[in-house]
Structures are given as C-alpha cells and as structure tokens.
Structure 1
Amino acid sequence: MKPVVVMTDSEKTQTDEVEIVHIPLIGIEMLPVKSDYLHRHYDWLIFTSKNAVKLFFKVYPTITYDKVAAIGSKTAEVLNDYGIIIDYMPTEFNQEKFIAEAAGRFKGSRCCLPVSQKARSLMYDHLAAQGEVDRIDLYRPIASRSAADLINAMIEEEKVDVLTFMSPSAVKAYYSHYNPVRIPVIAVGPVTRDALLRVQQTCVTPDGATKEQMIKKILEMREHNEF
C-alpha cells in the first residue's frame, strides 16, 4: 500500500507515489493596501513566497521596478507564469542562503519586500543595512483549528503514516493545540525544522526544500522500514 501523507500547506499536490490527504493548517487574509507605495519605483522587488507574488501584482500593479529576486522554486514558477525574469535566486531556498550568496548585490539599492505580516525580519534587516527597503505586509496567516482537529483525529485513528509541515506558521497552528506525534514528521527546510524542534517534535528534512524532495524522502524512509 502507498503511504498516507498529510500535506498541511495551501497548495494541492498530485503524485502517484504516495496517497496525499490535503488539510491546510493556514489560510491567508489580505491586509489593506498602502496607498503611499502605489506609484513608487524600486531597483529590486524581492519575493519569498508564491502568495506574495500573486497578491502583490494584484493589489500593487502600478509599482515599477528594474530587477526581481526570489526565494524558492514555487515562487520562481509563479513569477515565470507572469512572464517575469528572475535576476537573482539563491541555490538553497531560505533567507540565510539568499543573504550569504547575495554578498553586496543590494548595496545602495532601493528594495521592495512584499511579505506575510508574520515573515521573519532577517531579510528586511539585511536589506536595510545595505540600502533602502520598504516592507509591504500583504497578508496575515490565519490558523485553522478545525484542520488541526481533523489531523489529530486521523492520527489517533491510525489513518496517517507521515505528517508534513511547510512553514513555522503551520507548526504553530497544530502544536498550539496538540502534543508531539509518534508518526514520522517531515519539515520542508531548516526554518520549519527548527520550529518543530522547539515544540519537542522529532522530524527529518529532505535534501532540497521542495515537495518533490519531501516525497522522495518519504519513499526512502518506507524502503528502509522506518515506518
């Protein structure tokens, strides 16, 4: 039988390799448009999520820019769908690697950083030290208690083989109500892994921060009888 995997993010995934049960722990709520930014020009637009891309071009269509930077393959895919050329993307999909590989790329630049209200300040702090940066909070994450309850019920009924997390927000949405689980837990990357470790949840991470790599890791674990 295929392993049953609960995916807790907002983007549905299709694969024939595992049986995916899609239960999003986080929704989003758009925040008011900041009219002062509507007609500004930037040297760089910097995107750290696909949600930020989709909402930014919807609500700030008059902002102009010279170059675009991005973190993550999914973010890049959405930008490509918009026909936007990416001028800089790190080799690993996290803010730490983005900053390390950028070196002095943003020095003296005017940057726009459209993000979630709950986004870490690391990127903003780096850009502010290099030049000017406007952080635009586009949306805020909304935790779903009903989703957490459903996941917990499925785990108690032994209907789930693996639980996955794509963000610290999702980790908080579940573990604010429930204790660490005994089934395997997969974190998409180091930031989410650290959030899980803080709530005493053991977990593993794939070689790359993508769902494809997460599924590959799950299949490897099944092959080695780890669950």
Structure 2
Amino acid sequence: MTSSQPLSGKHIVVTRPRGQAASFIDKIEAAGGMVHFVPMLAFRSFSDGRETKRLQQLPTYDWIIVTSKNGVDFFFQQLKGKGIDYNTVIKSRFAAIGTKTAEVLQSYGFHAEYIPEKFSADQFAEEISRGHFKAEKVLIPKGNLARTAIADALRVKGMTADEWIVYETYFPEEEKRHVMDLLTANQTDVLTFTSPSAVRHFMEAAEEANIHTLQESVVACIGPVTKKEADRFGLHTQICPEVYTSESLAEAIVRYFRKEED
C-alpha cells in the first residue's frame, strides 16, 4: 500500500442517500477504496395537513430555518406545487445548518444570513440559548424524523417557532438484500454513516442476515448524533470528524488509514 492510496484493498460501504453521495464516493475512490454504494435512505414529499395554513402564513415569518438539503428542496417544491411565487418569502431571512445546505439555498436565489458555528441542530440550539440568534416568528421546514431541538430552544427564549414537515424519510427495501449480501461476503472493512436513520436501517438488514457483530469493521460517522446512534447499536465508532460534512468524513477516513501505514 502506498501513501497516495491509503484505502487500497479496503471495501468501503457508503450508505449516504442516492443523489448526495457522488463527491464522497469520488474522494474514497481517489484514495484507492473499493466503494459499495447501498443508500439506506430515500426521500419523498410529505403532506402533514398543515400546508394551507403554513403557506398562508409565509409572509409573516421574519426567519426561515432550513436544516438540510432536503429541507430546502422540498420546501421550494411545496411552493412550486401550489403555484406560489418564491418572492412570497423574499422578506424572510434564512438560516441554514451547514455550508452545503446554504449552497442549495443559494441555488434557489436566497442567501443564508446565519449558519451555526458547527453544522448541527444541537449547536444551533446552543447558540440560540446563548442569545446569538434572535427572531420573532420562525418557520422550520423539516423531515418527519428531524428532532425538535431548534424549535424548543427558540420557544424557551420566547420566540414563535412553527415546524412544517415537508418530506419523509424511508428505507428503500431494494437495498436491504444488497446489505445482507455484503455482510455475508464480509466486504465491510469500513462502514460509513451520515445519519442516525442510516444506522438503524443498516442494522435492521444486519439482523435479518443474522449478523450480530461487526467488530472487524471500522465505523465512520459524520457527527456526534449519528455516532450516538451507532453506539446504541453496539458499534464502536473509530472515525468522527470535527466538521460535520461528507467531505470531512472522507478526509478523516483517509487520515485514519494513512496513520496505520506509519
């Protein structure tokens, strides 16, 4: 193995959703890794019964907080599907968790005026608690599995926070057999997870394959929330970057195996 190819001979399982994994896979393959792409999550539009009310109230929100790429995409899909001009929210200011989410927001013509120091809901909630973020009335378009940490922190500080579920996450059943085959063939040198849901779905497939230990696999998680879920299933996370992005995760995996060479 050479220093330029620290992942040579390593089977890297990528569970990131389809459409969001390309740059991550590119970095892994550039370091010599053999990628097994098994997206553990898929997304679809969701109706929570509050669309009419939320859409009518759009002009009343001084801030809109988007927490993920999907939150941005499905929020604007809701507007487009109802024939609502994006200029309806032109007076709202936007906050985004992470630079990648901000970039997607920019593609719709809106700028994120606030991004928390670390790209997580818990960090945002902490900054709200410390008085770093202030608003009067906030809308949070989100997924069905997203936690309420940000809304809770806003309400504690006396701000109005309305949550709106605009998409749902589900397990693409067709990938379950793929995971089971990989586990049976022992082609899981590195397991990568970028969300707690991906961990749960992967472990569900592992249980169906009657594999209850993955101690020989290196586990890499994008951040502390995902790591906590992996720990709950008894996985020992060896890699968890300081910056919660897929690019940082790929770089951390490369560094981990480069150290093994030294």
TM-score calculated relative to the size of structure 1: 0.90
Structure that is richer in helix per residue: 2
Q: Is the 8 A contact 1:145 1:173 kept in 2?
A: no
Count of residues in Structure 1 that have an aligned counterpart in Structure 2:
226
Q: Is the 8 A contact 2:10 2:189 kept in 1?
A: yes
CA distance in 1, matches of 2:11, 2:205: 22
Matches within 5 A, 1:162-181: 162-178=190-206, 179-181=212-214
Among 46, 71, 75, which residue is 1:56 paired with?
75
Among 64, 74, 88, which residue is 2:100 paired with?
74
Question: Larger C-alpha radius of gyration, 1 or 2?
Answer: 2
Q: CA deviation at 1:97?
A: 1.1
Matched AA of 1:206: P
RMSD, aligned CA: 2.0
Q: Is the 8 A contact 2:63 2:135 kept in 1?
A: no
C-alpha change, 1:46 and 1:193, in structure 2 (3 Å) is: same
Q: CA deviation at 1:108?
A: 5.1
Q: Is the 8 A contact 1:71 1:93 kept in 2?
A: yes
TM-score calculated relative to the size of structure 2: 0.79
Q: Which runs of 5+ in 2 are unaligned?
A: 1-7, 207-211
CA distance in 1, matches of 2:34, 2:245: 17
CA displacement, residues 36-60 of structure 1 (integer Å, 9 cap, x when unaligned): 1113221100011100100101112
Among 163, 167, 182, which residue is 1:154 paired with?
182
C-alpha change, 1:180 and 1:126, in structure 2 (3 Å) is: farther
Q: Is the 8 A contact 2:127 2:133 kept in 1?
A: no
Matched AA of 2:78: V
Q: Is the 8 A contact 2:66 2:95 kept in 1?
A: yes
C-alpha change, 1:143 and 1:191, in structure 2 (3 Å) is: same
Among 199, 216, 223, which residue is 2:251 paired with?
216
Q: CA deviation at 1:180?
A: 4.2
Q: CA deviation at 1:145?
A: 3.8
Q: Is the 8 A contact 2:102 2:111 kept in 1?
A: no
Among 180, 186, 196, which residue is 2:230 paired with?
196
Q: CA deviation at 1:75?
A: 0.8
Q: CA deviation at 1:105?
A: 4.7
Q: CA deviation at 1:85?
A: 1.1
Q: Is the 8 A contact 2:99 2:115 kept in 1?
A: no
Q: Is the 8 A contact 1:180 1:199 kept in 2?
A: no
CA distance in 2, matches of 1:2, 1:151: 19
User: Residue 240 of structure 2: SS of its match in structure 1?
Assistant: coil
**Which residue is equivalent to 2:21?**
12
CA displacement, residues 77-119 of structure 1 (integer Å, 9 cap, x when unaligned): 2112222111100121111211222433554510000001111
**Which residue is equivalent to 1:185?**
219
CA distance in 1, matches of 2:134, 2:73: 27
CA distance in 1, matches of 2:258, 2:160: 50
C-alpha change, 1:138 and 1:223, in structure 2 (3 Å) is: same
Q: CA deviation at 1:2?
A: 5.1
CA distance in 2, matches of 1:112, 1:47: 9
Q: CA deviation at 1:5?
A: 1.7
Matched AA of 1:43: D
**Which residue is equivalent to 2:137?**
110
C-alpha change, 1:170 and 1:113, in structure 2 (3 Å) is: same
Q: CA deviation at 1:71?
A: 0.5
Q: Which runs of 5+ in 1 are unaligned?
A: none
Q: CA deviation at 1:170?
A: 0.9
**Which residue is equivalent to 2:119?**
93
CA distance in 1, matches of 2:156, 2:62: 16
